[in-house]
Amino acid sequence: MLRWVALVLVLLLIALQMKLWGGNGGVHEVQALRAAVQKQGEDNDKLTQRNQALGADVDDLKHGEQAVEARARAELGLIKPGETFYQVVEKPGAQAPASSTSSGGQ
Protein backbone atom coordinates (compact mmCIF):
# COMPACT_ATOMS: atom_id res chain seq x y z
CA MET A 1 0.00 0.00 0.00
CA LEU A 2 2.77 2.44 0.94
CA ARG A 3 4.45 1.67 -2.37
CA TRP A 4 1.33 2.74 -4.31
CA VAL A 5 1.08 6.02 -2.38
CA ALA A 6 4.74 6.79 -3.12
CA LEU A 7 4.23 5.98 -6.81
CA VAL A 8 1.17 8.25 -7.01
CA LEU A 9 3.06 11.07 -5.29
CA VAL A 10 6.02 10.70 -7.66
CA LEU A 11 3.69 10.76 -10.69
CA LEU A 12 1.92 13.82 -9.27
CA LEU A 13 5.28 15.54 -8.75
CA ILE A 14 6.31 14.77 -12.33
CA ALA A 15 3.00 16.12 -13.67
CA LEU A 16 3.34 19.32 -11.66
CA GLN A 17 6.93 19.83 -12.83
CA MET A 18 5.87 19.36 -16.45
CA LYS A 19 3.14 21.99 -16.02
CA LEU A 20 5.56 24.35 -14.28
CA TRP A 21 8.23 24.18 -16.97
CA GLY A 22 6.27 23.66 -20.16
CA GLY A 23 2.61 24.31 -19.59
CA ASN A 24 0.45 27.38 -20.03
CA GLY A 25 1.67 30.00 -17.55
CA GLY A 26 4.96 28.16 -17.06
CA VAL A 27 8.37 29.59 -16.30
CA HIS A 28 9.24 30.30 -19.96
CA GLU A 29 6.02 32.20 -20.56
CA VAL A 30 6.52 34.23 -17.38
CA GLN A 31 10.05 35.17 -18.46
CA ALA A 32 8.80 36.19 -21.91
CA LEU A 33 6.06 38.31 -20.37
CA ARG A 34 8.53 39.99 -17.99
CA ALA A 35 10.79 40.87 -20.94
CA ALA A 36 7.79 42.25 -22.87
CA VAL A 37 6.71 44.34 -19.87
CA GLN A 38 10.24 45.72 -19.47
CA LYS A 39 10.45 46.64 -23.17
CA GLN A 40 7.02 48.28 -23.04
CA GLY A 41 8.10 50.25 -19.98
CA GLU A 42 11.18 51.52 -21.82
CA ASP A 43 9.03 52.47 -24.81
CA ASN A 44 6.63 54.27 -22.50
CA ASP A 45 9.49 56.22 -20.91
CA LYS A 46 10.73 57.35 -24.34
CA LEU A 47 7.23 58.39 -25.36
CA THR A 48 6.73 60.23 -22.06
CA GLN A 49 9.91 62.22 -22.67
CA ARG A 50 8.79 62.97 -26.22
CA ASN A 51 5.38 64.11 -24.98
CA GLN A 52 7.00 66.38 -22.39
CA ALA A 53 9.21 67.95 -25.08
CA LEU A 54 6.22 68.47 -27.37
CA GLY A 55 4.25 69.93 -24.46
CA ALA A 56 7.06 72.38 -23.79
CA ASP A 57 7.06 73.36 -27.48
CA VAL A 58 3.30 73.91 -27.39
CA ASP A 59 3.63 76.01 -24.24
CA ASP A 60 6.40 78.09 -25.84
CA LEU A 61 4.32 78.64 -28.96
CA LYS A 62 1.27 79.65 -26.92
CA HIS A 63 3.05 82.04 -24.57
CA GLY A 64 6.33 83.00 -26.21
CA GLU A 65 6.61 85.37 -29.14
CA GLN A 66 10.27 84.43 -29.65
CA ALA A 67 9.44 80.76 -30.17
CA VAL A 68 6.87 81.59 -32.84
CA GLU A 69 9.35 83.90 -34.59
CA ALA A 70 12.16 81.32 -34.42
CA ARG A 71 9.94 78.61 -35.89
CA ALA A 72 8.71 80.97 -38.63
CA ARG A 73 12.31 81.85 -39.52
CA ALA A 74 13.43 78.22 -39.59
CA GLU A 75 10.44 76.63 -41.31
CA LEU A 76 8.93 79.42 -43.38
CA GLY A 77 11.96 81.61 -44.14
CA LEU A 78 10.64 84.71 -42.32
CA ILE A 79 12.61 87.87 -43.05
CA LYS A 80 11.72 91.05 -41.19
CA PRO A 81 11.70 94.42 -42.95
CA GLY A 82 15.20 95.87 -43.01
CA GLU A 83 16.93 92.47 -42.80
CA THR A 84 19.08 91.01 -45.54
CA PHE A 85 18.85 87.31 -46.34
CA TYR A 86 22.06 85.42 -47.03
CA GLN A 87 22.16 81.82 -48.18
CA VAL A 88 25.46 79.97 -48.21
CA VAL A 89 25.61 77.22 -50.81
CA GLU A 90 28.38 74.67 -50.39
CA LYS A 91 30.07 73.01 -53.34
CA PRO A 92 28.71 69.54 -54.08
CA GLY A 93 30.44 66.87 -52.03
CA ALA A 94 31.37 69.25 -49.19
CA GLN A 95 31.04 67.80 -45.68
CA ALA A 96 29.44 70.84 -44.01
CA PRO A 97 25.63 71.07 -44.30
CA ALA A 98 24.18 74.04 -46.20
CA SER A 99 22.53 76.59 -43.93
CA SER A 100 20.54 79.73 -44.36
CA THR A 101 20.98 82.65 -42.00
CA SER A 102 19.73 86.16 -41.73
CA SER A 103 21.47 89.04 -40.07
CA GLY A 104 20.28 92.22 -38.38
CA GLY A 105 19.23 95.42 -40.25
CA GLN A 106 21.06 97.24 -43.04
Three-state secondary structure of 7-45:
HHHHHHHHHHHHHHHHCCCCHHHHHHHHHHHHHHHHHHH
For 5-53, the pLDDT digits (tens) are 888 899 988 888 877 777 777 788 888 899 999 999 999 999 999 999 9
Q: What type of residue is 57?
A: D
Number of CB atoms found within 10 A of residue 67's CB: 16
Beta carbons of 84 and 106 less than 8 angstroms apart: yes
pLDDT value of position 106: 41
Beta carbons of 98 and 90 less than 8 angstroms apart: yes
pLDDT at 85 over 70: yes
SS3 104: coil
| pTM of the predicted model as reported, rounded to 2 decimal places | 0.47
